[in-house]
Amino acid sequence: MVNSAVIDNSGGQGVIYLESCDALISNSTFSGNAGAAGDVWVRGFNGDASVRLEYCTFSGFSGAFGAITYLADQASSSTLIRYTSCIFAGDDACFSEVAADGVNTLESLGYNIVLDATSDAFAASTDLTSTDPLLAPLETVAGTFVHVPLAGSPARNAGDPALAAGVNGAPMFDQRGSGFDRVLEGRIDIGAIESIPTTACGPADLTTNGNSNGVPDGLVTLSDFSFYLSLWSQSDPAADVTTDGTANGVPDGSVTLSDFSYYLSLWSQGCP
């Protein structure tokens, strides 16, 4: 499972149930789930179960067993869970083992961040334990649900420094897909998405009571923001989005919002 958002679900077992299989969960966000056996329930039954978690963000898990529950039902069965470059931002335990006859194994491959101070499943030297990942509330960005790392988040530029986007198994893009490079500023972030790079800040480009910053009210300078914009015309006026000149009187990269019905989601590229 890649590039997915699993949000506000509940279930009698895990929200995702994996039995006696090999599975990969990558570039994905889990938030607000309340499965009785966690976000992911891994079970070895009449066989072995092996799961790798990478570049994932787990937040707000509230099931009785935490984010991940694992169980090897029989002496001949086993479970193996490996995890790297993941954020575990819930207040409850990250992993819960259900006692059984088989062998259960947890293996941190490093570069994880965990908020819970009691977890002992993060022994790699590059894991950050008892650490607040500083995530923004859940929001929709580019059509998917994510927790954006805030300025100062320990997840920013803190993943494996040897990784390059699209090389040796590292994703080319983050959870949001094409156009959202998996590695920015020279080093991959921990979690499901890359932070917006910090840039020099100019004057604010959103105004409501004047144009002292040189941008008329109701206009947005899109080049200063990352954005997701959906527009539909109210009466088909002269086009107000230009790409090759200013014949309509509106500078390239700007929109006259008053001529459109619109849904606009903006997030600053490092500026307030």
pLDDT tens track for 226-247: 555 555 555 544 554 544 444 5
For residues 61 and 68, what is the distance between their CA atoms, to the nearest angstrom? 9
Question: DSSP label at 259?
Answer: G
For the chain, report the end-to-end CA distance as a whole number of angstroms.
Answer: 35
Is the separation of the CB atoms in 114 and 84 below 8 Å? no
For residues 1 and 170, what is the distance between their CA atoms, to the nearest angstrom? 15
Q: Which residues contact 19 (CB under 8 A, 6 or more apart)?
A: 43, 44, 45, 49
Residue 269: what pLDDT?
Answer: 43
Please determine, for residue 267, whether its predicted confidence score (pLDDT) is greater than 60.
no
Backbone angles phi, psi at 224, to 5 degrees: -90, 0
Residue 199's H or E segment, with its range, is: none
* pLDDT tens string 113-156: 998 766 678 989 999 999 999 999 999 988 999 999 998 999 99
* pLDDT tens string 186-209: 999 999 999 877 554 444 444 444
Estimate the share of the chain in helix, then strand, then coil, as percent rounded to the nearest 5: 0, 35, 60
Q: What would the two tokens of residue 224 be?
A: 């200063």
Residue scoring higher pLDDT (107 or 62): 107
Is the separation of the CB atoms in 27 and 58 below 8 Å? no
* pLDDT tens string 2-27: 999 999 888 777 788 899 999 999 99
Residue 225: what pLDDT?
Answer: 58
Calculate the average pLDDT of the chain: 79
Q: What phi-psi label fits residue 237: left (phi over 0), alpha (psi between -120 and 50 degrees) or beta?
A: beta
The number of beta carbons lying within 10 Å of the beta carbon of residue 53 is 25
Q: What phi-psi label fits residue 17: left (phi over 0), alpha (psi between -120 and 50 degrees) or beta?
A: beta
Residue 208: what pLDDT?
Answer: 46
Average pLDDT over residues 171-189: 94
* pLDDT tens string 67-78: 888 889 888 899
Q: What would the two tokens of residue 166 be?
A: 């699209």
User: Which amino acid appears at position 105 of this protein?
Assistant: T
